[in-house]
Amino acid sequence: MQLGGIHHVSAITGDAEQNHDFFTRILGMRLVKKTVNQDSTSSYHLFYADAVGTPGTDMTYFDIPNAGKTYPGVSSISNTAFRIMSEEALVFWKQRFEKMGVEHDEVIERFGRRTLTFHDAEGSRLMLVVDDGKGVPYGIPWETDDISEAFAIVGLGPVTLTVRDAGPTVNVLTEILNFTEIGSYSSLVEGIPEIRVFSTGEGGAGAEIHVETRIDLPVEKPGRGSVHHVAFRVATIEEYDKWEELLRQKGFLTSGKVDRYYFKSIYFREPSGILYELATDEPGFATDESTEKLGETLALPPFLEPRRKEIEASLRPINIKN
C-alpha cells in the first residue's frame, strides 16, 4: 500500500479571528470549512485550502483561546510548507510580506528548491516552496482581489519533523508507512546532521517528510502556533481498512477507525511522540455544502447536527466570513 502524500496539517490558534485574517486575507487561502473540533465541540475547527478543498491543500486550526506560548523543541512538527508555482511568485510573496509586516527570513535553497520561511503573529512556523508541479498535482488556485492565480498557494509542501533520535521515526516512515528516503540537505544549524528527505506516492513537494535531528533541544512544549498532527492521504476505503489492520498487527495503539464525515481517519503516535493521522481523500468538504458556499456557515456532521443549539451556545462568538 502506498500513501498519496500529505493530506492536511492541523495546528493550534488562540485567536480564531486573527488566524482567519492571516490565512485568508494575507495568504489568500480559502476557508473551506468552519466546523467544530469533534472531540471537543466547544472549540472551532477551521480549514483553509485551495479553491475547492482538495486533499493535500488544507491547513487546519483548532481554536483554543487559553492556549499558552509554544516552546519549540524535539518530538514536534516544526515546519509546514506551502507550494507556489514559480520564482516570480516567491518574489511576489517576499514583497507582500514586507509590505504587510509579516515576519520572514531570506530566500534560501532547500533540497534544490527556493524557499522562504515566515511566521504568523502566533509563531506558526511556515514556509513557501517553489514547486515545479512534478509529482502530486497542484491544487486549484483560489484567486483573490490582490493575489492572482499565478501567485496563489496551491497545496501543502514538505512537512518537517524534529526529533532527538531519527532512527525510530525513520523506521516507521520506511518500514510501516512505505516512504522512501530520497536524499538530504544541510541544516542551517552548525554541527547538526543533514536533514533527511522521505517521499511517498507520486512524489514531489506535496509528498515529502523532512526529518531533522536535534540533540541540543528539549522536548517541545506546544501552544499557540504549534502543530497538533500531520495527516497522510489514503486513496480508498479498502486501503483505509487495511491500514488499520496493519498498524495493529505491527503493535501500534491506534484510535481505531474514526469517521470525521468529510474523511475517515486513523490516529497513532510514532516513537518520538509525534501524532500521525491517515485520512481518506473522500468524501470531501462538499458533502454538506456546495462548492460555491464552502465555509460560509457553521457546518456540523450529521452525528452532531441534533446538538446544534447546544454546540452553538457553547462556542464563543466570532466574526469571520469567507
Residue with cell 517541545: 220
Topology (CATH level 3) of domain 6-314: 2,3-Dihydroxybiphenyl 1,2-Dioxygenase; domain 1 (3.10.180)
Per-residue exposure over 69-97, b if at least 16 CB sit within 10 Å of its own CB, e if not: ebebbbbbbbbbbbbbbeeebbebbbebb
C-alpha cell at 130: 517553489
Q: Provide the sign of the torsion angle of the four alpha carbons 218, 183, 156, 302, taken in this order.
A: negative
Residue 7, classed as helix, strand or coil, is: strand
Q: Where are the beta strands (DSSP E) in the chain?
A: 6-13, 30-37, 40-49, 58-63, 76-84, 108-110, 113-119, 125-130, 156-163, 180-185, 195-199, 208-213, 227-234, 258-259, 263-269, 275-283
Largest pairwise CA distance in the chain: 56
Residue 80's contacts (CB-CB under 8 Å, 6 or more residues apart) are: 9, 11, 59, 124, 125, 126, 127, 156, 157, 159, 160, 227
Residue with cell 517528510: 209
Q: Which residues pair with 104 in a beta bridge?
A: 118
- Pairwise CA distance, residues 315 & 168, whole Å: 40
- pLDDT score for 228: 97
Residue 293's contacts (CB-CB under 8 Å, 6 or more residues apart) are: none
Q: Please report the DSSP string for 34-91 in residue order.
A: EEEETTEEEEEEEEEESSS--TTSEEEEEE-TT----B--BSEEEEEEEEES-HHHHH
Spell out the per-residue pLDDT of the chain, length 322, in tens. Answer: 899 999 999 999 999 999 999 999 999 999 999 999 999 999 999 999 999 999 999 999 999 998 999 999 999 999 999 999 999 999 999 999 999 999 999 999 999 999 999 999 999 999 999 999 999 999 999 999 999 999 999 999 999 999 999 999 999 999 999 999 999 999 888 888 999 999 999 999 999 999 999 999 999 999 999 999 999 999 999 999 999 999 999 999 999 999 999 999 999 999 999 999 999 999 999 899 999 999 999 999 999 999 999 999 999 888 776 6
- pLDDT score for 322: 62
**Which DSSP state fits 291?**
G
